[in-house]
Amino acid sequence: AAGVIQSPRHLIKEKRETATLKCYPIPRHDTVYWYQQGPGQDPQFLISFYEKMQSDKGSIPDRFSAQQFSDYHSELNMSSLELGDSALYFCASSLFLAGGNSYEQYFGPGTRLTVT
Amino acid sequence: AQSVTQLGSHVSVSEGALVLLRCNYSSSVPPYLFWYVQYPNQGLQLLLKYTSAATLVKGINGFEAEFKKSETSFHLTKPSAHMSDAAEYFCAVSNTASKLTFGTGTRLQVTL
């Protein structure tokens, strides 16, 4: 079965540079979530999109922005990178079922961002 | 606000022994509860979920969890641990189709 695809898998950037992370959800999934997992920490929700509209926002820095495109893939843009941005960034996708009780999110393998 | 608390950041069991990973939740609305497993340098894999149907939920790899509203718990169990079960386990909560709030994780070690 098709899974969530994230690219790149690894990314090394210097401070103050920019980075773009991409996420391709499972086909027919309409919702995308972004999470950040620092070293030894639990994943923290950043932002989500449903049908190309932002649906929820968590602890995402103002330096970060994201969007979901017409083909449902999503990109997380990170500017003015800081050392503290070094983390594993996960994308997850789900299919919203009106009146349903699925709500399970399928995670991609993550992008490991290292800021030096 | 919703949250989950995982008791025990590290749990060590012998191969073949019972696995019990504890998770307590806090939610003002009926929660949806999940257990995810993360192997080193890998993504999160869904083990099982509770979405207000049966309170005893069976998942993959022989794991199961029981939703106990009176105890606000959703503990993960497996009758017999296998070496391949060694990983980080996260309990998570959400309501409707929304973000997941994770616990701090429990690292399971399985010894011979």
Question: For B60-112, what is each residue's pLDDT tens digit?
Answer: 999 999 999 999 999 999 999 999 999 999 999 987 657 899 999 999 999 99
Closest to A104 (Cα-Cα) out of B53, B46, B14 = B46
Omega into A8 within 30° of 0, i.e. cis?
yes
**Secondary structure (3-state) at B60:** helix
B83 secondary structure, DSSP code: G
Both structure tokens of B111: 């010894």
For residues B27 and B109, give the distance between their C-alpha atoms in angstroms, rounded to a whole number.
30
Contact B51 A103 (CB under 8 A): yes
Sort out which chain B residues have CB atoms less than 8 A from A45's CB and list them: 99-101
Both structure tokens of B21: 């990973």
- How does strand B106-111 pair with strand B10-14? parallel
Tokens 């620092």, residue?
A38
What is the per-residue pLDDT across B36-72, written as a single tens digit (0 to 9) for each?
999 988 889 999 999 877 889 999 999 999 999 999 9
Contact B43 A103 (CB under 8 A): no
Asked whether residue A97 carries a pLDDT value surpassing 90, the answer given is no
Q: DSSP assignment of A54-106, as one string?
A: EEEE-S--TTEEEEE-TTS-EEEEE-S--GGG-EEEEEEEE---TT------E
**Secondary structure (3-state) at B61:** helix
What is the per-residue pLDDT across A1-41, written as a single tens digit (0 to 9) for each?
789 999 999 999 999 999 999 999 999 888 999 999 999 89
Contact B46 A48 (CB under 8 A): no
Both structure tokens of A47: 């932002």
pLDDT score of B53? 74
Tokens 């994230």, residue?
A6
Helix (H) or strand (E) holding B36: strand B32-38
* For testing contact with chain B, the best of A48, A105, A111, A112 (most B CBs within 10 A): A105
Sort out which chain B residues have CB atoms less than 8 A from A4's CB and list them: 43
The one-letter amino acid at B56: L
Count CA within 13 A, CB hemisphere, residue A29: 28
